[in-house]
Amino acid sequence: MKWKGRNDLVDFILDNKWLFLILAEIIFWVSTLSFLVVRYWFNLNKLSVAFFILFILNDLWIATMGYFDYLKTGKFSAYQIIILIVIAYAFLYGKSDFQKLDGFIQRKAAKWRGLPEPEFTASKPLYGMAHAKQERRNLYKHFLVFFAVQGLFLLMFGLSDAVSNIQLNTLFEEWYEKTNTDLFYQNDTANNITRIWALILAIDIVISLSYTVAPKKEKKTSHSAL
How much is the pLDDT for 210?
92
pLDDT tens digits along 39-85: 777 766 666 667 667 767 877 888 888 888 877 877 767 787 778 77
Q: What is the pLDDT, as a whole number, of residue 173?
A: 74
Element (H, E) at 172: helix 168-176
> What residue type is 162 in one-letter code?
A
Q: CA-CA distance, 59 to 199, in Å (whole number)?
A: 11
User: Could you say which residues of the chain have pLDDT below 50?
Assistant: 1-3, 122, 222-226
pLDDT at res. 21 = 86
Contact 28, 58 (CB under 8 A): yes
Q: Find out whether 154 and 161 touch, Cβ atoms under 8 Å.
A: no
Q: What Cα–Cα distance (Å) separates residue 50 from each residue in 30, 38, 84? A: 14, 12, 24
